Structure 1
Amino acid sequence: MSDSLPTLLIVDDDSSFTRVLSRAMKRRGLDVTVAHSAEEAQQVIPSLKPDMVTLDLKMEGASGITLISDIRACNPQARILILTGYASIATAVEAIKLGATQYLPKPADADQILAALDNENANPEVGIEEQPMSVNRLQWEHIQKVLTEHDGNISATARALGMHRRTLQRKLAKRPVRH
């Protein structure tokens, strides 16, 4: 890399979040570009060739996860962070398989995001939570796993889970429980 600032592409449909994060990252010495949708990001990725990218998982239109291959094609060394309020084990595993560098649940501050983007290697010292997941969290994780297995198809997932499609849609519309 030359004397130019490292480039960061923030892809998130939450305009207040992107405004705050963009300002914080500029103060930390990054050249920041914001896209409010996967479709908008697809337009800037080829010319920008970002060094770092934060991708929101759940946005209007396509998911941020669909951009991973485009980013890798333009810059194989790019560090890609999936940043989402809808974190689940299934989506984390899928994102890493597709080429994301890290995965971080929201809410996260600029320092946590930068640390995740700078951390290229897994940490074997990460602690294991003493408290097991709640039944509600286990249900959320299972739904996400089955949804991933059915490529995001709500009807197929509902059939596989033996529940009504509208019931599944209501469950998916809710924020996941923390533990």
Structure 2
Amino acid sequence: MSPKDGNTETMSIFSPQLSARFEALANKYPVRRSALIPMLLYAQDEIGYLSDAAIHEIAGRLSLTELDVRNVASYYSMLRFKPAGKYNVQVCTNISCMLRGAYEVYERFQDELGIGHKGVTKDGIFSLEEVECIGACCWAPAIQVNYDFHDELTPEHVPGILADYRGQARGKGGR
């Protein structure tokens, strides 16, 4: 039997805790497909990105095709198909952020990290991407680092933000 058949005790690439969470999510909704986006987010949190194996297993758990899962996942900029850094920096350059200096902030991140769009630093600590909107228009320009928001930024804020996350990566606290 497979997860598609409702058996969660088969081999899974996910931890037992996440497998149980997936089963609870799939049973929570009248239409199992409704659990797809939360499952994709939790899978990405656990393994770092949406691997072929993750997509295969999630599709099976929800009785969907892998193409269905990929089509949904590819629509959302927060979902990734390749590994990102420990801290994924997303710089919003939508109209509100752009008008208040988002491109200058983005350029400063590129300069400080030495990477471009969808790049990952050599040490694997940071990845960088330009995104369309993170829903923080009132506090533009804004960025999101994993699930943390930073708003009303200027290029001068960038080194301090990066230093905080570098400190966290080294186990020295930070935010």
User: TM (normalized to structure 2)?
Assistant: 0.28
From the CA coordinates, give the structure whose radius of gyration is larger: 2
